[in-house]
Structure 1
Amino acid sequence: MVIITAKRKGELMRKTSEKILRALLAVSVLATAVLSSGCLDDEEEISDSTASDNRQTSDGGNAESSEGSEGSDNKYDGSVTGSRASKLTFSGSDGISIARKQREAEKPMGEDGTQTVFVYMCGSDLESENGLASGDIEEMIAGSQSENVKFVIQTGGAGAWADTYGISAEKTQRYVVTGGEISLIEEKESVNMGKEDVLVDFLSWGIENYAAAKMGLIFWNHGGGSISGVCFDELNENDSLSLEEIDTALTSVYGKMTDKFAFIGFDACLMATVETANMLVPHADYMFASEETEPGYGWDYTEIAGFMESNPTADTAELGKTVADSFMASCEAIGAGGEATLSITDLSRIDELVKAVNDAAEEMNDISSDPALLANAVRSIYTVRAYGSNNDTEGYTNMVDLGSMIAATVSDDKADKVMSALEKAVVYNIYGEDKDGSTGLSTYYPFGVSGSTELATFGKVCVSPYYMTFVDRIAYGAQNGSTDGYSGEKTWLADGAVYWSDGDYSDYESNWEHYNNKTDNMGFCGDKSSVQIDVGPVLDDEGTFYFNVTDDTINNLASVNCSVYRVDEETGELIEFGVDQSTKVDFSSGLVEDNFSGQWYMIENNLIPMFIVEKNGNSSVYTSPIKLNGKETNLRIAMTQDGNAYDITALGTWDGVNENGESARSVVPLKEGDVIVPIFNTYDSEGNFAGKAEGDECTYSGDNMIEFVNLPAGDYRYSFVINDIYGNVCYTGFTVFTTDDDGNVFFTPEE
């Protein structure tokens, strides 16, 4: 850990009072032979990373500027044609080859010292509910005091805008911020900010009128990762820009530019993915983005503009470092630093990373033909750092740390090559203490898939044919209960298959149709389940509830949780308290036992629903569906166990992921006086979803009164929740358990 000097820490914490006030207010308030697209001597070294308390940083070591770099090992092919700027060709004997558009020479488009940042500002609810886009415009004005720095902004995608600058929700408007002032340049009828042609029009206009020696592009809004993309327009059913659409748009303006963008950044959640970085290689030198969700207030544009003003010739990586450090300082200022991440990626290093990932994924594909090895790999993936949410309550973002996943699944030599390539590509990586192990870039993994379209979308952007085959195998297993008979040799691994290019792959959605049939009903384990039960669930002589998995399906078992219910005396419906991890699993024998203590969670002396989100060592994160001041959301809760003692903390509320794949920005802390109403799922005796039931209302006192205590005396129901390695879930039959006034638990079989 690198020590922060007093001077450096002072720089990191410097904020304007207006910024902090706004932040605090905001807190309150995915083939055929041709696929449509991709599946697949330092000049200046970044200074040592900094770390303190809830800050952990990583420095990529050989940080090399891609601006004018002559030492790159990347091989480019200017003959790439079509709507996208990159092409990957697979050969079983020779691996992969990558071709990308490249100019014969890069030539700056403006006078020395001039800098333009194009901001594609899709306001959405971030603006209409909290005024956050307007707040960031204010920061740009405050920071850009000379005529050499310009922010060229297109606004749209929000139902309402703050009155500060006269921005209209009925119009799409274009502004220029420079010299400490903002000017409306033009406006037109409202358009869908989630459409690529709208992005093309803005960039074409901006490049024609405001080209500069250095140019950047920022996508401002919500992000959803490699599948749903960025910029969700709330005026147009939350339509968003996919990675393919962004690539197509940037390729459309490629011929109008004589130079790459110095950087393309995402002031949005979850966009620091290897798929995003790979797509951007022909278009920019660097990517600035976050693996995790971002707090609503996002980047500090006063600090960014100030750095640009003072350092017009600085390396873009140094600008990126300022973006990252000031972002972290903003998060720390309101106590959100532990959850924050931001990384700066040298895109000239991505080809080396893609090839290393493909080599590692070849090993993943090889071991996946062995059921036992596949099981071990998937179980390992479930333990590594993931981002956003991956549970039924909050929704699925399906993003996992790339380096951590590779390290957990392949041999050391393959993993080391990936980590080495990551360290070269990610030149600066900053993350909070709660995101320890983040390597700077994430990738897609199908923890839970909402439909075949999601997997089809990934096929367009996946960076490795072997990894695409691994994911496709999981989808095949989810539909068939086994991967027996699966082969990708005639599809994803066909000799000469081309990725990241124009074409059609619709015939290959058959493996994914299974995912169109997800329901809210409780799926009981049966003959078609991939995990079969040999004995049980039954009670042994000592009162332990257990079952045994059959020998031939043990390798399909990923994990087992438990679910607890109470019977509503009036309706007879089952009220679900949640899903917890109170089980013991022996993967060698297939024995699964309850480890239930008869305790559950309360806030302000009221029972609340709790669903496990993630577990890392002795620390776990849960989500609890609630109404907060009348609005449905989720309360995130952290629990750390030390022996028999528990430290439980309410992290705050998070709206999760909507049906469009749009991830809410970061967790908002509770405040004293907040009114909380727990929301419980209810089911009939057949396991069909019946509806929702509200618990008792309570007012948050500010004292963090969340406890893990004995359930009130009475009769309850307990079920094992079996998760298979393909992402399927099934519930065993119930047993009755009774608790008494002394906290004792007595299991009895249900008749």
Structure 2
Amino acid sequence: MGRPLSHEREVTGTGKRVLGRGTFTSNSGGSRNSSGGGSPFGILFVIIIAVIGVVTGKTDIINSLLGGLTGSTSVNTQSQQVNVQDLVSTFGSTAASSISGVSNAWSGVKDNRGKLDRTVNENAEEKFYKPASGDIVTVMVYMCGTDLESKYGMATNDLIEMTKAKPSDNVNVVVYAGGAREWKNSVISASANQIYQIKDGKLKKLADDKGQPSMTDPNTLVRFIEYCKQNFPADRNELILWDHGGGSVTGYGYDENNSNTGSMNLSKIKSAIAATNIKYDFIGFDACLMATTENALALSDYADYLIASEETEPGTGWYYTNWLTDLSNNTAIPTLDIGKRIVDDFIDESNKSARGQSTTLSVVDLAELKATMPSSISSFAKNTASYIENNEYNKVSYARTASREFAKSSNIDQVDLVNLIYNLEQDENNPTIRSVLGVVKYNRTSSNMANSYGLSIYFPYKKLSKVDRMVQTYGDIGMDSEYTRMIQQFASLQASGQIAGGGETTPANTLTGSSHGSNSGSLSVADIDSLISSLISGSISSESLANIGLDASSIGFLQNRNMSDDIIRNYVISNRFDASKLQWSDIDTTPKIHLSEDEWNMVSGIEEKMLLDYGSGYIDMGLDNFFEFDENRDMLADKERAWIAIDKQPVAYYHLSTTKNGDETITIGRVPVILNGEKANLIIIFDKEHPKGYLAGANTDYDAVQTETVAKNITEIVQGDRIQFICSHYGYDGTYLGEYKIDEEYVVGKNTPKVSYTIIQEDNEITYKFTDIYNNSYWTPVLKSK
């Protein structure tokens, strides 16, 4: 058991923490898927401090400092705008966003939220469903309850919402229920999968399936659809898949009773839908992360509309009562009106029940998508490939890292498609952007989301090991071949940059004074050329592959990139970050890092890590995106040594996202814990209403062995909850020692745990993680507290 960390006093303005000229990179909430003295630079730093005070929520620090310098505790919003412009003028808008991790709301492309678009593209085929009075409707709900039900009763809550809808003889709501070890109601059995009908405000059992077949097996979905087709023939069919989701790579579903069967990927979803020969009014995913370009393409032959979320969903999911009542009142109601009601109710109810969680939901016209998107995606892919082939990989890398990323801590590599294209092309009238905005007929998000336009897309960066799997899926669903080749090119160049860079994901070596895990400053051109050649040829060692997260079974993309070996070798040799330059100067006064303009151009992210000396090694306190620059563009070290605390207990904290939306800046971070005996993340949010931060809740942290889907829940922290704060720790020799428990288990009392920043009094060391354009990580030498 770890000892408690001291918390002698909360931060009240004993130092400065500023974003500065180059705050370089860095988006989860809970989910339905399934982290002294005044400024020597006078008014210049007052301006910069004003910005970071809003970004971080550290108003105690900032207001005290501002009061000391200016006689006022107010934050000047005009100064914030000036400083943002300084960032943009120095690095360019895309690089500044990437490096700082601060997303400017709806930058470049006009916000499309809350605007119902009834226009129809002239090239789109006619819809499958043609409304007529007196239509019979069958709503099929494929409800894999999983731990959302067994732990929290979320499926039962949604079933209750369905029973409260106005009944109609023309509307049949049929539910296939299974996948949960326990159901929080007295009707549904956990020993067998069953089919129910919502009838007269009650749940009526219709049939038992044979035992508990996996709900991520497409054959199970086919059997349910065939049952509905035979027993509830209809003029209008709607299908909803309810559970966790994992996006384009992972797909749908986690069956708690058949956890070894994995999820149902897009290929299997498409094959199941195709096998039943039914055309749907809409197919909806009451699951996380399924509003993807790939999913929409896969379903475009079988439904008029897709209703799904780009981001993770709160466990409460859709709200069913109102839209089912609307359908009962008029079975010929336009689908866009149903979709708008579903989206509005979901966002509004989530704002009430999952306060602070990032939420998205959109309605996508699949007929229009089928007519317009393939050619526009192909054009976008060709343009992007030309950048990669013509020595502008860094431009693509910056565009990717600056884009709105979903389920960021889960590294699923999904980004908003419009935001990605704009970051690359800087043209809001780009044909592909217009095409995407045209097919998204209705889109809404929570206020803490920006640059989320309704459709995401897979773009590799965090996990290159998934590229081959995605390429296989692309072949199965008919994704554009130009896009497939382009991501293989990008991944090939990135992998080559990683194999030559020699970065490290942990600060283990820098703790012992080693060379920050970097080969990039010492390898000769011949060495790098040899490394890249062996990677591309497949002759490289398994150990070297493992160092960049790959193995022999996941490097097929290197052979299908349609780009010469020489282009790759020459680019990496000419564009590499020399981590040997990460040396502190002026250590005894104001420690700083100096890099040339060319060297800064190789940096895509900076984060601060604090390590505490606990007597037998170091406790890892996470990663935050705070740092500062002086007027010479040198990065200055953190003198303040403050960190996140919960009820005055310093904890490991990881920054996830910062979004600037008008006059409000919203920052989200996570704290790893064991909550009531299970791994989870506490979600910390700073916003205009809570500038000092608040604990929004927790979401489940699944082990990859259980499921690759992302947790679809945000659990409220209530009295009696048991919280064990955890972190990583290292020996003095840099050896990773695994998980460390901070203090004794914490039991929540009557009051909600309070979030604060606390100055750390223990012996501590800080280091900065620099990320290059290939996603290599390098660490500065540590700076010890005095």
User: Which of 193, 214, 225 is the equivalent residue of 1:172?
Assistant: 193
Shift of 1:681: 0.5
| Contact 1:604–1:700 (CA under 8 A) maintained in structure 2 | no
Question: 354, 369, 377: which is aligned to 2:374?
Answer: 354
Do the aligned partners of residues 692 and 207 (structure 1) sit closer, same or farther apart at CA in structure 2, a change above 3 Å counting? same
1:477 is aligned, of 478, 493, 502, to: 493
Asked if 1:606 is matched to 2:621, the reply is no
Q: 1 or 2, which has the higher strand percentage?
A: 1
- Corresponding letter in the other structure for 1:561: E
Q: CA deviation at 1:356?
A: 2.2
Q: Is 1:228 equivalent to 2:244 in the alignment?
A: no
Quote the residue 1:451 is aligned against: 465
SS state at 2:345 partner: helix
Q: Which residue of structure 2 aligns with residue 724 of structure 1? A: 772
Deviations 1:123-149 (CA, angstroms, capped at 9, x unpaired)? 111111122222222322222522211
Q: Which amino acid aligns with 1:73?
A: N
Q: Which amino acid aligns with 1:355?
A: S
Compared with structure 1, are the counterparts of its residues 377 and 640 closer, same or farther at alpha carbon in structure 2 (3 Å cutoff)? farther
Equivalent residue, structure 2, for 1:684: 731
Closer/same/farther in 2, CA of residues 250 and 576 from structure 1, 3 Å limit: same
Measure, in 1, the Cα distance between the counterparts of 2:717 and 2:494: 39
Amino acid at match of 2:495: Q
1:362 partner letter: K
Which of 403, 423, 448 is the aligned partner of 2:418? 403
Shift, 1:106, TM fit: 5.3
Partner Cα separation in structure 2 for residue 638 and residue 190 of structure 1? 40
Return the alpha-carbon distance in structure 2 between the equivalents of residues 536 and 560 of structure 1.
12
Corresponding residue of 2:143: 121
Distance 1:361 1:60, change over 3 A: farther
Aligned match for 2:183, one of 158, 161, 167:
161
Q: In the alignment, what sits opposite 1:655?
A: 700
Rounded to whole Å, the distance in 1 between the matches of 2:594 and 2:353 is 49
Alignment equivalent of 1:582, drawn from 593, 605, 626: 626
Aligned counterpart for 1:615 among listed residues 643, 658, 663: 658
Deviates more, 1:697-706 or 1:471-480: 697-706
CA distance in structure 1 between the aligned counterparts of 2:381 and 2:490, rounded to whole angstroms: 14
Give the letter for the 1:614 counterpart.
S
Q: Work out whether 1:670 is the aligned partner of 2:713.
A: no
- Paired with 1:154 and 1:111, the residues of 2 have a C-alpha distance of 28
Describe how 1:538-577 pairs up with structure 2 within 5 A: 538-540=584-586, 543-547=589-593, 555-569=601-615, 571=616, 573-577=617-621
Percent of residue pairs identical? 25
The range that moved more, 314-323 or 469-478, is 469-478
1:711 aligns with 2:760: yes
Candidates 113, 118, 121, aligned match of 1:63: 118
Q: How does 1:11-410 map to 2 (within 5 A)?
A: 58-59=113-114, 62-64=117-119, 72-74=122-124, 112-165=134-187, 167-187=188-208, 188-237=210-259, 239-254=262-277, 257=278, 260-336=279-355, 339-351=358-370, 352-371=372-391, 373-388=392-407, 390-391=408-409, 395-410=410-425
Residue in structure 1 matched with residue 10 of structure 2 by the alignment:
none
CA distance in 1, matches of 2:373, 2:632: 39
- CA drift of 1:267 comes to 0.7
* d(CA) in 2 for partners of 1:431, 1:632: 28
**Residues 1:594 and 2:640 aligned together:** no
Do the aligned partners of 1:478 and 1:728 also contact (CA within 8 Å) in 2? no
> SS of the residue aligned with 2:438?
helix
The aligned counterpart of 2:104 is none
Count of paired positions: 605
- For the 8 Å contact 1:456–1:509, the answer to whether it is kept is no
State the alpha-carbon separation in 2 of the partners of residues 61 and 357 from structure 1.
24
Out of 645-654 and 168-177, give the one that drifted further.
645-654
Q: Residue by residue, what CA displacement relative to the aligned partner does 1:255-313 show, whole Å, maximum 9, x if unpaired?
A: xx4xx200000111111111111111100001111112112121122212211101111
Which segment drifts farther, 185-194 or 674-683?
A: 674-683
Higher relative contact order (CA 8 A, sep 6+): 2
Note the residue ranges of structure 1 that are not aligned, 5 or more in a row.
1-25, 28-55, 66-70, 76-101, 491-505, 514-526, 739-751
Alignment check: 8 A CA contact 2:165 2:322 kept:
yes
Q: CA deviation at 1:478?
A: 3.7
TM-score calculated relative to the size of structure 2: 0.70
Name stretches of at least 5 consecutive residues in structure 2 with no aligned partner.
Answer: 1-30, 33-110, 501-527, 537-551, 560-572
**Per-residue CA distance 1:712-734 (angstroms, 9 max, x = gap):** 1x422222212222333343443
Q: Is the 8 A contact 2:648 2:758 kept in 1?
A: no
| CA–CA distance in structure 1, aligned partners of residues 441 and 774 of structure 2 | 35
SS of equivalent to 1:361: helix
The residue type equivalent to 2:439 in the other structure is A
User: Which is helix-richer, 1 or 2?
Assistant: 2
